[in-house]
């Protein structure tokens, strides 16, 4: 529901950036031409480069805009609670798609965002341990990293998860409830009931080495 406004309200520069974010996220940066972006924004191709210098400059501007949108008002330097990350995930499709590609392309901004989420989640989980609503972990840092990875699953595998769940879009209310309800159940009660899976895994590993 965020990021809603009419296109004609925007400056051409903003329209170009929005078109780029949308198309880059949809197709990947290299499948999208400057001309296609210009067409979607309703301007000439030359204006794109007038404002952003080059196609790569436009990509960097998209990265920066992404970070700006996701960090929000910036009251906290790190993304430090799950519901905040959760709302990021539910948010506008173009941003989610762009973010997924930025992660895969290892853009520096996306990497910084990831690290920031890990740092924030580690603090948040640590606080939970202190207050008793999070279980202690043998390796809290590794757990925070994996936790963030799990949280980002609907970002990077959105289409596949939606298809597997038989839903059109995970952002629909029903699908979101089903998804996060199940994930929270898994995170709260665990998936495996005892140590049998872990010992089986360790046995396989030892056999292989």
The interface partner of residue 153, options being a copy of itself, DNA, none and the CB cut-off 5 to 8 Å by kind, is a copy of itself
* CA–CA distance, 89 with 92 (Å, rounded to integer): 8
Q: Is 184 in the site for DNA (CB under 7 A)?
A: no
The interface partner of residue 99, options being DNA, a copy of itself, none and the CB cut-off 5 to 8 Å by kind, is none
Q: For residue 6, give the DSSP letter.
A: -
The count of residues in the chain is 209
Q: Is 7 in the site for DNA (CB under 7 A)?
A: no
Smallest gap from Cβ 76 to a copy of itself, in A, equals 17
* CA–CA distance, 69 with 105 (Å, rounded to integer): 19
Q: φ and ψ at 66, to 5 degrees?
A: -55, -50
Residue with Cβ nearer a copy of itself (7 or 133): 133
The interface partner of residue 92, options being DNA, a copy of itself, none and the CB cut-off 5 to 8 Å by kind, is none
Smallest gap from Cβ 188 to DNA, in A, equals 47
Please name the residues in contact with 168: beta carbons below 8 A apart, sequence gap of 6 or more: 162, 175
Contact (CB, 8 A) for 98 and 59? no
Count, residues near DNA per rule CB under 7 A: 20
Binding DNA (rule: CB under 7 A), the pick from 27, 39, 40, 55 is 55
Binding DNA (rule: CB under 7 A), the pick from 2, 35, 149, 163 is 35
Q: Is 36 in the site for DNA (CB under 7 A)?
A: yes
The interface partner of residue 106, options being a copy of itself, DNA, none and the CB cut-off 5 to 8 Å by kind, is a copy of itself
| Tokens at 46, concatenated | 């030359």
Please name the residues in contact with 129: beta carbons below 8 A apart, sequence gap of 6 or more: 135, 136, 137, 140
Q: How many degrees, rounded to 5, is the angle at CA 75 between CA 154 and CA 9?
A: 75
Closest of 91, 73, 31, 16 to residue 99, by C-alpha? 91
Smallest gap from Cβ 8 to a copy of itself, in A, equals 29
The interface partner of residue 157, options being a copy of itself, DNA, none and the CB cut-off 5 to 8 Å by kind, is a copy of itself
Binding region for DNA (CB under 7 A): 11-13, 32-36, 43-51, 54-56
């Amino acid at each position: 529901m965020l990021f809603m406004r009419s296109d004609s309200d925007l400056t051409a520069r903003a329209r170009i950036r929005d078109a780029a974010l949308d198309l880059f996220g949809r197709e990947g940066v290299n499948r999208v031409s400057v001309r296609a972006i210009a067409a979607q924004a309703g301007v000439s191709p030359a204006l794109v480069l007038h404002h952003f210098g080059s196609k790569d400059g436009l990509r960097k501007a998209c990265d920066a805009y992404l970070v700006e949108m996701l960090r929000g008002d910036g009251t906290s330097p790190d993304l430090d609670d799950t519901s905040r990350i959760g709302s990021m995930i539910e948010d506008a499709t173009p941003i989610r798609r762009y973010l997924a590609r930025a992660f895969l392309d290892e853009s520096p901004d996306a990497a910084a965002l990831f690290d920031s989420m890990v740092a924030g989640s580690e603090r948040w989980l640590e606080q939970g341990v202190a207050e008793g609503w999070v279980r202690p972990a043998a390796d809290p840092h590794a757990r925070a990293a994996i936790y963030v990875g799990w949280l980002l699953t609907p970002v990077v595998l959105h289409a596949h998860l939606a298809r597997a769940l038989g839903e059109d879009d995970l952002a629909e209310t029903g699908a979101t409830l089903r998804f996060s309800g199940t994930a929270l159940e898994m995170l709260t009660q665990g998936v495996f009931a005892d140590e049998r899976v872990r010992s089986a895994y360790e046995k396989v590993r030892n056999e292989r080495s």
